[in-house]
Amino acid sequence: MNKLTEALIKNTPNPEKGKIVFKDHSEKYLQIYIQKTTRTWYYVRRYQGKTHFIKLGEYPAVKLQKARLLAQKQSAEIVDTGIIGKTNSLLTFEKLKKHYIEHQKKTGKKSWKDNQSLLNNHWGFLDRYGLDMIRKKHIKDWYDKNSIGHVAGANRSVKILKACFNYAIKNLDLDVVNPASNIILKEEKPRERFLHPHELPKFFKALDELEKNYNYGTIYKKLFLILLFTGQRKSNVLNMKWENIMLEQKIWFKPSSTQKNNEPHAIPLIPQALEILIELAKNKTTEFVFINPRTKKPFDNVKKAWKYVCTVGEFNNLRVHDLRRTCGSLMAINGVDLQVIQKALGHKSITTTNKTYAHLIVNPIRAGLGKAFD
């Protein structure tokens, strides 16, 4: 290995791809990363079970001798304090995630669990990186790969990452560049899948099979039917409470604290939904309507049971959320006014309702076409 010298650094060309890393023979933890457009000094040290990357500066503003002095100073601080992470550059992405999610929990962000799962599952590969080591290229490479066929999910992932870094800059007063701020996102096409009228008998038959052959199939069947007959979001139904069900008045009231749009919502219960809830009420044991028989707590997810339904019913590209879209779509097909659909589904803006369901209201068009040839 060549000794690290000013001449070696100066004469090494920047690579078109990847990076060239030189370790200093004099200062054990000093390294320089030479990339396409940058030459950056880092203090890299395994400490208390984790590898820490501390940015010391850019070459040539920080030359070799100065970088060694900065590395010595960093080592001395660790000896004196026993702490690594006193400067902003020591904050890893893993630590930032914890700060961000705690902030969301404290401020009552309803989607904090989903955001936590997304940050862990999609961006966990960045956990050991110091914030100043995360580049736009890391984000773009991930997005280019994962947005194929999953544009909406990939877009949301980048947006959450961007919000996480914005939190670090604004609330933690960190001097870092947001690597997700200039990622160009692909245009999302609204999802159109719903159960067409001719598919409903097959869906109900698949639910019957679920009840007969799947563990705890009865409770899953009733849960899926409530999703269909109320048109509400999965998270609302999974956390449905008896205190909000007014059986005599045939209403399910959702407080603003449970709502995505932070507004209270009253849902009239149609006979099919009311029948299911009356039956469940006879054996209620907790405050929640739907309880996982194994854990005695509300369901976290229903993925396996839903997969069973889709397999038995031979449904392609059908998601649980599509039951909500099915409810709205069938109302539109049967001529229900868009404002009524908006209120039924709890959309804050009529624009959302128009965008998703207006094209299905064809009765006035049919009447118009008929008049053309009277």
| 74/97 same-domain check | no
| Boundary of a domain, candidates 89, 120, 140 | 89
Mean pLDDT value of segment 275-282: 96
Residues 81 and 154 in one domain: no
User: To the nearest whole percent, how much of the chain has pLDDT over 70?
Assistant: 97
The amino acid that residue 124 corresponds to is G
Q: What are the backbone angles phi and psi of residue 94, rounded to the nearest 5°?
A: -60, -45
* Domain count of the fold of the chain: 3
Question: Which residue has tokens 């939190």?
Answer: 167
**Domain presence at residue 112:** yes
Answer yes or no: do 210 and 355 share one domain.
yes
- Of 116, 136, 171, the one marking the end of a domain is 171
Q: Which domain covers residue 345, as residue numbers?
A: 197-242+283-368
Q: State residue 86's pLDDT score.
A: 47
| Secondary structure class of 31 (helix, strand, coil) | strand
Residue 1 has pLDDT above 70, yes or no: no
At residue 161, the pLDDT reads 97
Question: What is the tens place of the pLDDT at every residue in 99-136?
Answer: 999 999 998 887 898 899 999 999 999 998 888 789 99
Q: Are residues 110 and 205 in the same domain?
A: no
Both 237 and 352 in one domain: the answer is yes
Per-residue pLDDT, 270: 97
How many other β-carbons are positioned within 10 Å of the β-carbon of residue 52? 22
| Segment among 16-20, 49-53, 281-285 with least mean pLDDT | 49-53
Instruction: Note whether 207 and 309 are within 8 A (CB).
Output: yes
Query: What are the tens digits of pLDDT across the range 171-180?
Result: 887 778 899 9
Answer yes or no: is pLDDT of 198 > 70.
yes
Q: Which two tokens stand for residue 39?
A: 């030459």
* CATH code of the domain containing 62: 3.30.160.390
User: Are 356 and 225 in a shared domain?
Assistant: yes
Residues in Cβ contact with 327 at an 8 Å cutoff, skipping those fewer than 6 apart? 228, 229, 230, 231, 344, 345
pLDDT at 81 over 70: no
The model's pLDDT over 40-54, given as tens digits with 9 standing for 90+, comes to 999 998 887 778 888
Strand order in the sheet with 251-254: 245-246, 251-254, 265-268
Helix, coil or strand: residue 213? helix
Residue 163, token pair as written in the block: 């919000």
- Element (DSSP H or E) covering residue 4: none
Same domain, 63 and 98: no
- DSSP string of 273-292, one letter each residue: HHHHHHHHHTT--SSBSS--
